[in-house]
Amino acid sequence: MTRPADSYLRFLQLTEALRGLPMLAALDPLEECILTQVACTAQDNARLSVRDLMVQSERGSPATLHGRLKSMRRKAGSARGHR
């Protein structure tokens, strides 16, 4: 039987391994937080809009979040070999 702590430690190991891949652009802490929320929402089969992210003031102003989303999109394009 897998304990929750074991699952979390495995998750941390996997995230460290992914960070080491040269094809992935580095994410800042806010971008990681956004990506985590998107992944959790997708896991729950729920919908998440950009507006949903922007109304969460604890992550910054709408302009800050918009800038981070654009940055993440550029990084994703760079990782695929596009600009």
Give the model's pLDDT for residue 28. Answer: 86
Domain that holds residue 38: 4-79
Q: Tell me the whole-structure pTM to 2 decimals.
A: 0.63
Encoded amino acid at 45, one letter: N
The stretch 66-82 carries a mean pLDDT of: 79
**Spatial distance between the Cα atoms of 57 and 51, rounded to a whole number of angstroms:** 11
Each residue of 38-72: pLDDT tens digit?
888 888 889 988 888 888 767 888 888 888 989 88
pLDDT digits (tens, 9 = 90+) for 1-13: 667 788 888 888 8
Angle, CA 43 vertex, CA 1 and CA 77 arms, to 5°: 125
DSSP labels, 60-80: --HHHHHHHHHHHHHHHHHHT
How far is 22 from 11, CA to CA, in rounded Å?
19
Split into its structural domains, the chain has a count of 1
| Start-end of H helices in 1-83 | 4-19, 29-43, 50-54, 62-79
